[in-house]
């Protein structure tokens, strides 16, 4: 009996979002502030990057307004509203009512396939977080049909921003079909000495967690590439703790309050869960 209302909400939102462009776009930054989020310099995208979350429950009307603002309102406003939606929605969209989550999924998928690059990047990143594999043991939210194959195709794009967004998304989505491509990308970027992109591929592999990644992680033990105290070094610590349980958690704990590395360290610790009892 619940399917009908959900379809109605999603369909109604889709009709609004695909209608003629809105004269006055919703302001994602203002909506975040109204919800009690301390928006950093850089706005909604910076809030998304640093892992900020909104209150629960979210103020009434916030999600509907942001979904409308993810429609044809201009690329900059569209991306800003998507990032704001991702902040308030939380991982796996736990803060979003089912009908509104379905409407957001349709709109995000449209963003992923848009002609504008910044729109594609924002849509991909937000969809990855909002429809990420659940960490709380509850059933995952239903994903919009076509999301996974569309994001998988983006792994092969030559543009590094889009490719990085796709790596982030497939990792959060737990897409096992991406493992061979991610492994190739990791090795290729290691050979090119591109730490950022190699780390992005490795992070996705760790989040997916397939057993075939373990030999790659074992090869990182003693590899000076992973010893530097930067984002790539944190990913290596995450990988070693996840696959080898070798005490690398201590590196993440030490970095969790760092100004720039802290958000990633805290996210990895959350994904690892509490330490096992001795």
Domain boundaries, the chain: 1-147, 175-278
- What are the pLDDT digits (tens) for 195-215? 999 999 999 999 999 999 999
Rounded to whole angstroms, how far apart are CA atoms 100 and 11? 10
- pLDDT of 7 strictly over 70: no
pLDDT at 185 > cutoff 80: yes
Nearest-Å Rg of the Cα atoms of the chain is: 19
Among the ranges given (8-17, 103-112, 216-225, 235-244), the one the predictor scored with the smallest mean pLDDT: 8-17
Asked whether the beta carbons of 92 and 39 are under 8 A apart, the reply is no
Residues 180-186 have a mean pLDDT of: 98
Q: What angle do CA 212, 207, 223 make, to 5 degrees?
A: 65
pLDDT, position 137: 87
Both tokens of 11, joined, read 């369909």
- Does pLDDT of 89 surpass 80? yes
Rounded mean pLDDT, 67-77: 93
- State residue 140's pLDDT score: 83
Average pLDDT over residues 156-180: 97
User: What is the per-residue pLDDT for 15?
Assistant: 47
Query: Which whole number is the average pLDDT over 223-231?
Result: 96
Q: Which residues contact 120 (CB under 8 A, 6 or more apart)?
A: 111, 112, 113, 114, 154, 162, 165
Do 113 and 120 touch, CB atoms closer than 8 A?
Answer: yes
The four Cα atoms 228, 229, 231, 234 give a dihedral, to 10 degrees, of 90
Looking at residue 3, what is its pLDDT? 41
Per-residue pLDDT, 141: 86
- Is pLDDT of 278 > 90? no
pLDDT beyond 90 at 8: no
Quote the pLDDT of residue 108: 97
Q: Based on the number of CB atoms within 10 Å of its own CB, is 98 exposed (0-12), middle (13-18) or buried (19 or more)? A: middle
Distance of CA 32 to the CA centre of its chain: 18
| Residue-averaged pLDDT of the chain | 92
Matching residue, tokens 């003693």: 222
**Can you tell me the mean pLDDT for 60-67?**
96
Across residues 34-54, what is the average pLDDT? 95
pLDDT (mean) for 85-101: 96
For 2-88, strand residue ranges (E) read: none
pLDDT band at 130 (very low <50, low <70, confident <90, very high): very high
pLDDT score recorded for residue 80: 97
- pLDDT for 139: 85
pTM of the predicted model as reported, rounded to 2 decimal places: 0.91
Torsion sign over Cα 121, 122, 123, 128: positive
Instruction: Check if the beta carbon of residue 22 is closer than 8 Å to that of residue 71.
Output: yes
Look at residue 67 in the predicted model and tell me its pLDDT: 97
Three-class SS of residue 75? helix
Please say if the pLDDT value at position 180 is more than 70.
yes
Q: State both tokens at 167.
A: 């790596």
Residues of the chain above pLDDT 90, percent: 86
Quote the CA–CA distance of 35 and 153 in Å, as a whole number.
Answer: 35
Exposed e or buried b per residue across 50-60, where buried means at least 16 C-beta atoms within 10 angstroms of its C-beta = eebbbeeebee
Q: What is the mean pLDDT of residues 142-158?
A: 96
pLDDT score of 9 more than 60 = no
In the structure, what pLDDT confidence band is assigned to residue 23 with cuts at 50, 70 and 90?
Answer: low
């Amino acid at each position: 009996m619940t399917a009908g209302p959900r379809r109605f909400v999603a369909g109604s939102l889709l009709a609004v979002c695909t209608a003629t462009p809105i004269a006055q776009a919703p302001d994602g930054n203002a909506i975040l502030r109204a919800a009690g989020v301390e928006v950093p310099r850089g706005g909604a995208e910076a809030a998304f990057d640093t892992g900020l979350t909104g209150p629960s429950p979210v103020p009434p009307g916030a999600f509907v307004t942001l979904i409308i603002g993810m429609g044809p309102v201009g690329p900059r406003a569209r991306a800003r509203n998507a990032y704001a939606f991702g902040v308030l929605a939380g991982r796996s969209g736990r803060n979003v009512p089912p009908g509104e989550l379905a409407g957001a999924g349709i709109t995000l998928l449209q963003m992923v396939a848009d002609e504008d690059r910044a729109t594609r990047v924002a849509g991909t990143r937000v969809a990855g977080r909002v429809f990420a594999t659940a960490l709380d043991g509850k059933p995952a939210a239903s994903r919009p049909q076509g999301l996974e194959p569309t994001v998988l195709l983006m792994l092969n794009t030559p543009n590094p921003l889009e490719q990085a967004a796709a790596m982030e998304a497939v990792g959060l989505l737990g897409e096992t079909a991406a493992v061979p491509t991610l492994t190739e990308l990791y090795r290729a970027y290691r050979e090119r000495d591109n730490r950022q992109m190699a780390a992005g591929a490795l992070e996705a592999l760790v989040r997916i967690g397939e057993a075939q990644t373990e030999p790659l992680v074992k090869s990182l033990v003693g590899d000076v590439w992973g010893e530097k105290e930067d984002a790539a070094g944190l990913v290596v610590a995450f990988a070693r703790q996840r696959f080898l349980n070798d005490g690398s958690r201590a590196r993440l704990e030490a970095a969790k309050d760092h100004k720039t590395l802290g958000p990633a360290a805290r996210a990895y610790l959350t994904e690892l869960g509490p330490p096992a009892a001795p």
